[in-house]
Structure 1
């Protein structure tokens, strides 16, 4: 185990985790409130639906050259392309969750005299949380994938993606397989974290 962690693997793991969290954090901070705003108004959603679906369906790797031209070869280019792709996933899921909040509960709140703001805060917001967490889980996994691929093909001095490509070039099979397994465990860990968080915060989903 000590030999596996030698040679800066722990540092590479930390850099990949840091970039992933930064990309996901940017996407969540922008995507959640924007998704709520768009989902609250069907006219706005219909006007931007094509743009969201178009870029959401575009492979992130096809955007690498564009982001490299705009942001250069530094870390920010990797984080930006991952954040952009994750943002679209979060935006779509949050907007979908808001639009599909159960109308019966909304109507019941209105009948009892709740204001539109109160209906949104106490009904719509909680109704959209399950779909929001679907978007968050998908987005963090996508962020990790894109960061690793970016570390492999956009100039990088560290990260698990850089270690994978270096191991392939030097035919260091133990390092290659070990790093691949580590990336899988990292992705599983992110997903498990959000599943546990969802079970605590949205334990009432489906009731």
Structure 2
């Protein structure tokens, strides 16, 4: 064995080890956060009643999920979030694609889309309560409206900014307007549309949680958080906040995986 082949053979395990270690990089921030949380909790800087240790919070989370009612609250919030998101996506994607395919039509409603998209959804809650009351429908409608605006904007943006070179190439090859729309414009808009869908489900979850906090309801993570805060049940409050964050992160990861699978050709 030559010196070069020997040295290259020695480098392979190191490179392989480095690649395996890179997979754990996202966990570094998690461990740092938990360590800081634990150090602050035991330092005495904060009243222990107001800030339990992370291990106590995690134990409370598992106990509430297994033997308590957190699983019911979790399921209720998930159902409301997906109800709002699916409704917004089924309406928002076709509307966004239709608006994006006609620049004049999009410009005619651009102000309305940007105006409502820039208005905090929480500020519209009283208006939706007037129209839909304090039922579950109002929570789904509020969240769906917020998600709808994001999905429409991103879908339209994706169609408007489709690569002109591919559109021209399709026309040169004899494709009619429908084929150009279906095979070029629609496919080109998918990456931006998925950004809108991912943002839409995130904002739907946020608005559902806020609505559960301030609109009368019997179940839901938002209701659980505000109830725990009012009776100073801080362990349950932190556990509920933690599971809400995990839910949001999980939904984001799910859509990233779906995006990579559906539009694997993006950027090529």
| Fold in common (TM above 0.5) | yes
1:3 aligns with 2:69: no
Mapped to 2, the partners of 1:69 and 1:26 lie a distance apart of: 21
Tell me which of 151, 158, 180 is aligned to 1:90. Answer: 151
Mapped to 1, the partners of 2:63 and 2:252 lie a distance apart of: 28
Which residue pairs with 2:163 in the alignment? 102
- Gap regions ≥5 residues in structure 1: none
Tell me which of 149, 156, 159 is aligned to 2:210. Answer: 149
TM-score (norm 1): 0.98
> 1:149-171 deviations in whole A, cap 9, x for unaligned?
00000111110000000110111
Mapped to 2, the partners of 1:7 and 1:168 lie a distance apart of: 17
- Note the aligned Cα RMSD (angstroms): 0.8
Mapped to 2, the partners of 1:12 and 1:201 lie a distance apart of: 32
Mapped to 1, the partners of 2:177 and 2:198 lie a distance apart of: 29
- Gap regions ≥5 residues in structure 2: 1-58
- Secondary structure class of the residue paired with 1:184: helix
1:77 aligns with 2:138: yes
Aligned length: 207
Tell me which of 227, 241, 245 is aligned to 1:180. Answer: 241
- Asked which structure has the greater RCO (Cα within 8 Å, sep 6+), the reply is 1
Give the conservation status (yes or no) of the 8 Å contact 2:143–2:204: yes
TM-score (norm 2): 0.76
Which residue pairs with 1:125 in the alignment? 186
Give the conservation status (yes or no) of the 8 Å contact 2:64–2:71: no
Moved over 6 A (4+): none
The structure with the largest alpha-carbon Rg is 2
Mapped to 2, the partners of 1:77 and 1:139 lie a distance apart of: 17
